[in-house]
Chains A and B, each alone.
Chain A
Amino acid sequence: MTQALVNVPAKAKRGEVIEIKTLISHPMETGYRHDTNGKPIPRDIIHTFVARYNGEEVFRGDLHPAIAANPFITFFTVATESGVIELTWTQDHGDPVTQKANITVE
């Protein structure tokens, strides 16, 4: 199943402000709901999202149960040099997920 749609511009000019969009497939189960038998449905959310540009952290976000399913996270950064943008999110269940995208700065 698709985990995420990541959109990083393949090319950018040095010093240009670029937008990075991430659409993550995730149920974002709040932990406040009950199933039909009255049993609580355990919380299952992405609680941390971190973006690193050539290893340097450029964006970080904490997510909470009020965030809807399939969160869309977008942020801006300055294109400094060619390299890798690494997006990592950590969830209640399962391993952290990392997606990488290359960017060429001219």
Chain B
Amino acid sequence: MMGAGHDACSIPPPASRASGGEGGERSEPGGGLAGNQRSVISDQRPTDILITVSWPLIPVHPPPLTPPRHSLRKWGEGNPHTVRHSAFFAAAAFFIIVCCLNALAAEIPQNDRRSGTAFMTRETQAMQEDDRANPGMLAVLDGEALWNDAPPGAKSCAGCHGDASTSMKGVAARYPAFDEARGRPIDLEQRINLCRTEHQHAPPLGWETRELNALTAYVANQSRGMPITAGTDERSRPFVEAGRALFNRRQGQLDLSCAQCHDDNWGKRLAGSTIPQAHPTGYPEYRLEWQSIGSLQRRLRSCTFGVRAEPLAYGAPEQVDLELYLMWRARGMPLETPAVRP
């Protein structure tokens, strides 16, 4: 669950200098206290930074990670380092406790789950709630036009599906959904493009194009207020687990997993922004930062850039697994498309 980084939990902090990231070694060749603090920050989950409180109590040259056998034998036999060592072991014990607490704190309890809306200012919430002020509604209306618009020589979406307000009601709440033919889940954008290529014989719409986002927003808008059910079926289960593994995997130059922000530190601030809980309840959503509507995959790629990892390609199976896991996390929460986010 915690990934490789958490193996470090079983050993006291100075170990991270010996076994930890090469980056730390390169940038702090001299070692010393600054080096220890640095490696503590880079190798532990953010909540473990607590440990730095106890570190300055330890002399500038802390004892080696695994005290040599002879020093253990001498412990309590008038060794002048006894006081120093007991401080060291107290810190180590404290550290292990912190690690255990983290292990327990992993996933957000059902009752503490909140939509990203809850973390926004009242003004942005008002913008989302008022359909005449929500800029995402422009995309929904564009999507409605596209729904009724037939590509040359083919039926329109409405030609087969009829009135979206009945035929598409509840559909977005169960996506990404398992696709029999592909043997894996696909998201709503992929479903729309499959419909285009297989039934309308039209070229697929590009990722993040106005058209694809608009159609997706229109379809998803039909399920507004309905509880999310994605990932709750048995066949999706392994893919939910794959997404969960990805969510908990450290990545990028910052060596952070999604969970370290969105499970462990939600509600706190990352620079000027509140860290939400990663419940994708309103996609495609209008981000004021983007000045446009965008998909969940776009958002995931932004986060990946944020930890300085190589972003996954649009439509990559891993992206969809992650989308599926996030929707499963938000199961039972009402869909808000088109949401407005800061």
Contact = CB atoms under 8 A, between A and B. Distances in A.
Interface stretch (A51-59, A67-75, A84-92): A67-75
21 contacts: A1-B145, A2-B141, A2-B142, A2-B145, A5-B131, A5-B132, A5-B138, A5-B141, A7-B132, A21-B132, A21-B133, A23-B132, A23-B135, A23-B137, A68-B288, A69-B291, A69-B292, A70-B135, A70-B138, A72-B135, A74-B133
A25 interface: yes
Interface string B6-47: 000000000000000000000000000000000000000000
Interface residues of B, number: 14
Size class of the A contact interface (CB-based, 8 Å)? 10 to 19
Contacts of B132: 5, 7, 21, 23
Interface of A: 1-2, 5, 7, 21, 23, 25, 28, 68-70, 72, 74
B288 to A, nearest CB: 7
A35 B191 CA distance: 32
A70 B131 CA distance: 14
A23 B127 CA distance: 11
Nearest to A26: B138
Nearest to B130: A21
A70 B137 contact: no
A103 B192 CA distance: 40
A68 B133 contact: no
B138 A68 contact: no
A19 B135 CA distance: 18
8 smallest A-B Cβ distances: which pairs?
A69-B291, A7-B132, A2-B141, A70-B135, A25-B138, A21-B132, A2-B138, A68-B291
Contacts of B142: 1-2
A76 B135 CA distance: 20
A21 B291 CA distance: 19
Nearest to B135: A70
Contacts of A1: 142, 145
Given A1-B145, A2-B145, A70 B133 contact: no
Contacts of B138: 2, 5, 23, 25, 70
Contacts of B134: 23
Nearest to B293: A70
Contacts of A68: 288, 291
B123 to A, nearest CB: 11
Most buried by B among A21, A23, A28: A23
Contacts of A74: 133
A1 B291 CA distance: 17
Interface in B204-233: none
A74 B12 CA distance: 59
Nearest to B292: A69
A7 B292 CA distance: 21
A43 to B, nearest CB: 16
A19 B137 CA distance: 19
A71 to B, nearest CB: 9
Contacts of B288: 68
Nearest to A1: B142
B133 A23 contact: yes
A69 B288 CA distance: 9
Contacts of B127: 72
B137 A5 contact: yes
